[in-house]
Structure 1
Amino acid sequence: MGVSTVFVALAAFFWGVSGGIGSILIESGWAPSVVSFYRGFIGLLFVLVWLLIRPRSSGLSNRQLWLWSTIAGLGVAGNFSFYFISIEHGSVAVAATLMYCAPVFVYLISFALKLERPTVSKWAAIALVMIGIVLLTKLYEIGASDLSLIGVVAGLLAGLSYAVFIFGFKYAAPHGSPQAVLSIAFAVLSIVLILPSDIDQTVSVVRSSEWPMFLTLGVLGAGLSFVLYIVGLKHTAPALASMIAMVEPVTATLFGFLLLDGSLDVIQIIGMGLILITVTTLSVTSSKSSQA
């Protein structure tokens, strides 16, 4: 497994941890839009400091950098927003499963753009990961009454937005430095997410005792994780990156189990195993084929 693959996997790990932190904040009464805004805004401050320290070869004068970075920022904003809308109108299990349909969207786009060749092994990998996610989220326990059209559509749009930011970052990366790409993307994200936020609650975060959790959420969930992700994505195909990022729901589940008094049954452990084994096998296979 190459260094780039490890970077993408680490980014997904931090996203999973930040998902757990976000859940704690939402359960404490903070609005999802406020939590999402601070995740992006603190990430923006993080990468702006990096850009100020290392401004050379930023590529900020390149139009392609601005175009693709803006698309990436809109993709991240859509992913955050639609995911919470799906939870609001359905359940976490439904929202998570639909959002993690992202590899399907990425592969379909990659096949259409001829970036990837469709093979039986790739379709099998997608199927195994989706089965693993269904087992992990216990989607099979959800009744028809728990499903809503808005929840399902929002969940699918969250997955599609996920695919958009993967391609946005992939095509922005060659035109400038990671810090420049992320600065533009997070600026767009912050502007888009501040609009639906509860302004009074947004301001009160600074005076609350939970601001260290917001800071950790922003640094891990946006700053450090996306830096690792975009650096790793430079040498990783979008489709493979989307599959490796499936480490995120596993991390989020383990976070809930270890720190939030959650529980894991045998079916969920099997689901986690399916995801991790499939992602690892696909990563190793891709790494060997690229070296051949």
Structure 2
Amino acid sequence: MGYWSSVLLVFLGSCSYGVLSTFVKLAYQAGFLPGEVSGSQMFFAMVFMWGVALLFSRRKVRGKQWLTLAGTGLATGLTGILYYQSLQYVPASIAIVLLFQFTWIGVIIESFIERRRPGVEKVAALVLLATGTLLAGGVLAGEFGSLHPVGILFGLLSAVTYALFIIFSGRVGHEISPYTRSAVMLTGSVLITFIVYPPSFLLNGALTEGLLVYALPLALFGGVIPTLFFTLGVPHVGGGLATILSAAELPMAVFMSSVVLHEKVSLLQWLGVVIILVGIAVPELSHKHRTAAVRDRG
């Protein structure tokens, strides 16, 4: 797979995650609980992905591969659990800002793993992303002062687990098909989700009472698309750059919270969205410039 195709996949996977907060809020408004929402999302994503894997991939997964892939899936499962808890206490546009801290966390983790400092273009991108986050999250308008500290804590913890998922999704199971990798990762997500939230939704009638309407799009946008796209794209772009590309999640979440949930989004927040998009573009423009320079020298 080519570099720019991989960049596009990571970008689209991130936008897919940005849709989640809106569907979660709608599910909460309909009276469903965090365990029902998170559990049904991961369960149906796993079922769908295993169906695809069985159709298009015949290679078996060995014990050690199961452990590493399922362990990576634990991180994304915890991200959903922590993020959905945060949404119970803070608005969707703020919850995504807290989760969004995975950008600099992921770059720092990668620098430790690879034992090298991040490049100038990554640092510049992080500065722009941080500035955009402050604006898009309404921090300058003083919104954080009235927020519940528990919601802030859950949001920040979700950022740590999400950064770990992005980093390790590009480092494990390369010899296995992306469909099987994604299916095993989602199995790990389901396990941790069901441990925290026993799957009562399978028996209590919630699915037939309307939960399925929210579970299916949540499974698609929050399980199948991002897990598969990250599995395909992250190995080719690297974990640090993938965390920067994943910042596309925030503009999408702010847009959805404004258009669908009718949450108030100020001009400063929209300016923050624009700055974030510029921050995402900086490393890619730098890569394009370096590639052109190498081609000219050749």
The answer, yes or no, to whether TM exceeds 0.5 is: yes
2:13–2:230 Cα contact (<8 Å) kept: yes
What CA distance in whole angstroms lies between the structure 2 residues aligned with 1:110 and 1:153? 23
Q: How many pairs were matched up? A: 289
- In the alignment, the residues of structure 2 paired with residue 290 and residue 33 of structure 1 have an alpha-carbon distance, to the nearest angstrom, of 47
Cα RMSD (Å) of the superposition? 2.4
Is the CA contact 2:85–2:154 (under 8 Å) kept in the aligned structure 1?
Answer: yes
User: Which whole-Å CA distance do the structure 1 matches of 2:129 and 2:167 have between them?
Assistant: 20
The match for 1:276 is 277
Counterpart Cα distance in 1 of 2:95 and 2:260: 22
TM-score (ref. length: structure 2): 0.87
Unaligned runs of 5+ in 2: none
Q: Deviations over 1:57-101 (max 9, x none)?
A: x451262x3233122111101211222333445665554333211
Name the structure 1 match of 2:36. Answer: 34
User: Per the alignment, do residues 111 and 38 of structure 1 end up closer, same or farther by CA in structure 2, a change over 3 Å counting?
Assistant: same
Corresponding residue for 2:160?
160
Cα shift at 1:153 = 3.6
Other structure's SS at 1:241 match: helix
Query: TM-score by structure 1 length?
Result: 0.89
Q: Which region of structure 1 is more displaced relative to structure 2, 81-90 or 27-36?
A: 81-90
Q: Report the equivalent of 2:9.
A: 7
Deviation of 1:287 (Å): 4.5
Question: Identity across aligned pairs (percent)?
Answer: 19
The counterpart of 1:54, out of the listed 43, 53, 56, is 56
What letter corresponds to residue 283 of structure 2 in structure 1?
L
Matched, 1:213 2:214: yes
Pick which of 29-38 and 236-245 moved more: 29-38
Task: Describe the shift of the 1:17–1:121 C-alpha distance in structure 2 as closer, same or farther (beyond 3 A).
Answer: same
C-alpha displacement of 1:24: 0.9
Whether the 8 Å CA contact 2:45–2:219 is kept in 1: the answer is yes
Q: Cα offset for 1:220?
A: 2.3
Q: 1:59 to 1:260 in 2, by over 3 A?
A: same
In the TM superposition, 1:143-158 aligns within 5 A as 144=145, 146-148=147-149, 150-158=150-158
With over 3 angstroms needed to count, the CA separation of the structure-2 counterparts of 1:98 and 1:213, relative to structure 1, is closer
Which residue pairs with 1:86 in the alignment? Answer: 86
Residue 290 of structure 1 and its aligned partner are, at CA, apart by 5.8
**Separation (CA, whole Å) in 2 of partners of 1:189 and 1:72:** 8
Rounded to whole Å, the distance in 2 between the matches of 1:277 and 1:170 is 24
Over 3 Å counting, the alpha-carbon distance change for 1:115 and 1:123 in structure 2 is same
SS at match of 1:180: helix
Q: Is the 8 A contact 1:132 1:270 kept in 2?
A: yes
The answer on 1:121 being equivalent to 2:121 is: yes
Alpha carbons 1:30, 1:201 under 8 Å: kept: no
Give how far 1:145 is off. Answer: 5.3
> What residue is the counterpart of 1:240 in the other structure?
241
Any idea what SS the aligned residue of 1:29 has? coil
Letter in 1 for 2:184: I
Distance 1:238 1:139, change over 3 A: same
Q: Any stretches of 5+ residues in structure 1 without a counterpart?
A: none
